Amino acid sequence: MKRLASLTTTLLRDWFRNREAVFFALVFPLILLLIFSTVFAGGAAEFDLGVQNNDVNETGAPTPLSATFVDALERAEPLNVAHIDSDQDLSNADQIAEATGHQRVLVIPNGFADRVRAQSGRVRMAVIRDTITRTRGNLTDDQQTALDQLQANMTAQAGSGDSGSVEVTLLLTPDDDAAGAVESILDSVVGTFNDRSIGVEEPTTRIQTEERGAEGISAVGYFLPAFIVAMILINGVMTVPSAVASFKRDGTLKRLAATPLRKHEWILANVIQQSILAVGITGVMLVVAWAVFGVRVVPGPLSIALIVLGAIAFTALGMMIGGIIRDSGSAISLGGAIALPLMFISGIFWELDLMPTKLQQVAEFSPVTHYHRSLRQLLILDSTAGVAGTFGLLLGLAVIFFVGALFVTRWQEFD
- CATH assignment at residue 82: 3.40.1710
Amino acid at the residue 321: I
Task: Answer yes or no: do 100 and 237 share one domain.
Answer: no
Average pLDDT in the 381-404 region?
92
Q: What is the pLDDT of residue 414?
A: 43
Question: What confidence tens digit (pLDDT) does each residue in 34-75 have?
Answer: 887 777 765 556 788 999 898 888 888 899 888 998 998 988
Pair (277, 376) in one structural domain: yes
Strands 79-84 and 104-108: unpaired
Cα angle 311, 301, 215 (rounded to 5 degrees) comes to 95
Per-residue pLDDT for 314 more than 60?
Answer: yes
Whole-angstrom distance, CA of residue 166 vs CA of residue 171: 16
Q: Are 148 and 110 contained in the same domain? A: yes
Residues 264 and 350 in one domain: yes
Q: What's the pLDDT score for residue 128?
A: 67
- At residue 35, the pLDDT reads 83
Q: Is residue 394 part of a domain?
A: yes
Among the ranges given (185-189, 347-351, 363-367), the one the predictor scored with the smallest mean pLDDT: 347-351
- Is the domain of 230 the same as that of 181? no
Alpha helices in 235-351 (DSSP H): 240-249, 252-257, 263-293, 301-324, 328-345
Q: Are residues 284 and 164 in the same domain?
A: no
Which whole-number Å values give the CA distances from 200 to 62, 69, 124, 194, in the listed order? 24, 16, 11, 8
Higher model confidence: residue 261 or residue 127?
261
pLDDT in tens, 257-305: 777 778 888 888 889 988 999 999 999 988 888 888 888 888 889 999 9
350 belongs to a structural domain: yes
Looking at the structure, do residues 338 and 365 belong to the same domain, yes or no?
Answer: yes
Residue with the larger pLDDT of the pair 141 and 319 = 319
| In-domain check, residue 212 | no
Q: Is residue 358 part of a domain?
A: yes
Which residue range forms the structural domain that includes residue 374? 2-41+218-408
Name the residue among 318, 323, 352, 359 with its Cα closest to residue 336: 318
The domain tally of the chain equals: 2
Query: What Cα–Cα distance (Å) separates residue 99 from each residue in 54, 102, 316?
Result: 17, 8, 59
Q: Do 121 and 28 share a structural domain?
A: no
Q: Specify whether 157 is located in the same domain as 270.
A: no
Residues 293 and 179 in one domain: no
> Residue 150 has what pLDDT?
66
What is the rounded average pLDDT for all residues in the chain? 82
Q: Does residue 205 form part of some domain?
A: no
251: left (phi over 0), alpha (psi -120 to 50) or beta: left
Kindly state whether residue 272 falls inside one of the protein's structural domains.
yes
* Nearest Cα residue to 226 out of 20, 27, 29: 29
| Same domain membership, residue 54 and residue 100 | yes
> Residues 133, 193: one domain?
yes
Mean pLDDT of 321-336: 81
